A and B are shown apart, each in its own frame.
Chain A
């Protein structure tokens, strides 16, 4: 794959932060259907007074608070946040509309954009870097250009990254004009938005000392595109003659539940992928969908303490079905599932609706998965281009 991935992910990580890390989501309403796999009671927003005491308290604030009283919108966001906090569950959260929009793009795995990464430098300016061959580069954007205005509207002195991101993005085929500063010069760039994909999966071939070829598939997060990417990876690697595979789920914080089931299904011919337990209901088991492309290829899974949620589902399914050994360190232990509800004004709430268990009924939540080969990766290895965990995986594939 190209070099652009890490930068792109860095960018996404900025607007995305921990939310992605704590993924493990099922989407409701909005963008994609979970494929009918889940029972979905229709949300019943009841008409009614809500919480009348809120108005009473707020009228007192309006009457005498010394400072500026926030807008009704912010008032309600605060109230929703406060109500959700009483659940005492850090995965049940409220997300404001702008952040939700960025989140939606991320889960979708693609959006209409210009093809540039951005970050905020120490002076609070937005620094742009073009992605190779994408529209922004073709329009003349250079690395380290400073963004000054979007469609002629100057940026606020301390711009909010998500806000800028959303103003740059838009429907495919539409035009956005960016004013950028480069040294003392200013440039106007007219850019036609195109589909910008945010791949979640990379793959490559490594050769053991004995000359055996293994395919390494690394998944950074589980987006709606991930299953297709993994299928393509498997087909390409098989075509290139690999005789074993390594599924690298290290530092994969999770993502969409359905993507994880589909990915597990690529490696398991038949069987249970996970059990889901909800309030006052019997467990629901999710089975492999069948037709996987690599159900018999020798397989090892790499995990670490940052492998969470959807990653743990895949790893747990492969481990419990005796399909693969896990190599690395104990996983994060996030075994709860959140629905994401888009509220009427574009904000959303994440609500924990279930806990997940591995096919053999092992709890993931708060526990994590214990690898078959417990092996930590020394911190300086990445810098030196070494990977003892991958080496251990290869040693299992090609003893």
Chain B
């Protein structure tokens, strides 16, 4: 219980810092629209073997290299015609050609219809780089890009600047310091929000029950959120162990395992793994965390553009392979969280309780373009051990329990209550 909490000046920093690592390593995984950045690198690059993505500067002798990119020269007559019309007749001042190019690439990327393939224009790509220096701080919130609805705040962390200033989860962001964000990707908006600690950032927000957009000024600060929390619920023979995991960052297993051991030593009747609002992280850590609870076997199936299939497996080294288990999930559980929940469901290892998960089963690879922009392309999709799709559908819980905003305000947690009740009685509630 006295483990030092990892310092994180907002998860946005974490995400971007790690995203940058990803740029150098050539491979990013788990990029979640949740801009708070949950774009992390796969730890073991060489694992990919005949990967089509050799890291820059790596000798490619043993790695098959992608054939030179197929020429993608496309007749741009339509674009030239449009630009000519704009030049000749547009009423206002014509955007710079860089701005038009950025817009055109955004539009092109939007034609893919994939929420996670995103363009980060040079200006924001540079901000991400500056951010990696570690001097930037955030506001303590996560964001995501919602198709057709712009950028939305998914989660606001209690006690941090956004929460203190009155930002609420579900708020839609209209502008940041006067910059309209409607057409920007979540990564870009996160870059805009972050900055030196102690400086203000003005968010213009829309809220469902408020007729007009309004502005909130938030002062950036250091955000420290513990990666793992744990506690024992109840006493005697009915007591239940509880652990929550904030995301799947590099030392997820390392921090989770001792907490679970501590709980198991007290012989609880069951164990709860809380993955609610956990946006994902490293694929390698998803495997590591799954390994704690599952027997040896397939853990996840990955498929790429060419239909190549790869399976990642768990070993038989887990310390919690038999204790009755409940996994808490909700709409903010994404990516690695969904993989873990899906695998536990497929193995019949425990009950998944809460609400249907986010539905992000894909990997993004950032590519740097010659103008300095970053194009984050979805390169793989994931499937559970029983080959169920995660992407778009999410993982449906075995026991569905909602938690309303009234519940949250009143500090009630019917999902946790349902998990405790299930583990204590072994009885599933009537649907």
Asked whether B114 is an interface residue with its Cβ less than 8 Å from the other chain, the reply is: yes
Prevailing SS type, chain B contact patch: mixed
Query: Are B104 and A83 in contact (CB-based, < 8 A)?
Result: yes
A263 at the interface (CB under 8 A from B): no
A50/B79 in contact, CB under 8 A = yes
| Cβ of B377 under 8 Å from chain A | yes
On whether the beta carbons of B72 and A66 are closer than 8 Å, the reply is no
Contact in complex: A59, B69 (CB < 8 Å): yes
Q: Which residues of B contact A154 (CB under 8 A)?
A: none
Whether the Cβ atoms of B91 and A279 lie closer than 8 Å is yes
Shortest CB distance A258–B (Å): 17
User: Which residues of B sit under 8 angstroms from A69, Cβ to Cβ?
Assistant: 112
A183 on the B face (CB < 8 A): no
In the complex, A36 has a CB within 8 A of chain B: no
User: Which B residues touch A78, using CB under 8 A?
Assistant: 107-111
Which residues of chain A are near B365, meaning CB under 8 Å?
A: 64
Is there contact, CB below 8 Å, between B91 and A61?
Answer: no
Q: Is B84 an interface residue (CB 8 A)?
A: yes
Q: Does B158 contact A (CB under 8 A)?
A: no
Interface pick from A85-93, A243-251, A310-318: A85-93
Q: Is A79 an interface residue (CB 8 A)?
A: yes
List the A residue with the shortest CB-CB distance to B381: A66
Nearest residue, chain A, Cβ from B74? A72
B-chain residues with CB within 8 Å of residue A278 when the two chains form the complex:
91
Residues on B with beta carbons closer than 8 Å to the beta carbon of A67: 112-114, 305, 378
B180 within 8 A of A: yes
Asked if residues A86 and B100 are in contact (CB atoms below 8 Å), the reply is yes
Asked whether A57 lies within 8 Å of B84 as measured between CB atoms, the reply is no
Q: Which of B70, B105, B110, B180 has the most CB of A within 10 A?
A: B105
B103 touches A83 (CB 8 A): yes
Partner of A349, one of B82, B93, B371, B381: B82
User: Are B77 and A344 touching (Cβ within 8 A)?
Assistant: yes
A55 contacts B74, C-beta separation under 8 Å: yes
When distances are taken between beta carbons in the complex, the residues of chain B under 8 Å from A86 are 95, 99-100, 102-103
A65–B377 CB distance below 8 A: yes
Which 7 pairs of residues, A with B, have the shortest CB-CB distance? A82-B107, A50-B76, A78-B111, A59-B72, A86-B103, A79-B104, A353-B89
Contact B183 A80, beta carbon cutoff 8 Å: no
A343 within 8 A of B: yes
Bound Cα distance from A110 to B155, whole angstroms: 54
Give the complex CA separation of A343 and B78 in angstroms.
7
Residues of B within 8 A of A62 (CB): 69-70, 72
A57 partner residues in chain B, CB cutoff 8 A: 105, 108-109, 119, 369, 373, 375
Q: Which residues of B contact A (CB under 8 A)?
A: 52-53, 66, 69-86, 88-93, 95, 99-114, 117, 119, 180, 183, 303-305, 362, 365, 367, 369-371, 373, 375, 377-381
Question: Would you list 14 pairs from A and B whose C-beta atoms are within 8 A, ordered by A residue?
Answer: A44-B84, A51-B76, A51-B104, A55-B74, A60-B367, A61-B377, A64-B52, A64-B379, A65-B378, A76-B76, A77-B111, A81-B107, A82-B183, A86-B102
Question: How long is the Cα–Cα vector from A127 to B84 in the complex, in angstroms?
Answer: 42
Asked if B107 contacts A66 (CB within 8 A), the reply is no
Q: Does A37 contact B (CB under 8 A)?
A: no
Q: Closest approach, in angstroms, between the C-beta of A51 and any C-beta of chain B? A: 5
Does A48 sit at the interface, judged by CB under 8 A? yes
CB nearest to B107 among chain A residues = A82
The smallest beta-carbon distance between A351 and chain B, in angstroms, is 5
Task: Indicate with 1 or 0, residue by residue over A41-53, a CB within 8 angstroms of chain B CB atoms.
Answer: 1011111111101
**How far does the Cβ of B111 sit from chain A's closest Cβ, in whole Å?**
3
In the complex, A84 has a CB within 8 A of chain B: yes
Residues of chain A contacted by B109 (CB below 8 angstroms): 57, 61, 78
- A61 contacts which of B92, B112, B180 (Cβ < 8 Å)? B112
CB of A352 within 8 Å of the partner chain: yes
Q: Among A82, A349, A352, which residue has its beta carbon within 8 angstroms of that of B104?
A: A82
Tell me the minimal C-beta distance from A58 to chain B in angstroms.
4
Residue picked from A51, A56, A83, most chain B C-beta under 10 Å: A83
**Which residue of A64, A72, A336 has the most chain B CB atoms within 10 A of its CB atom?**
A64
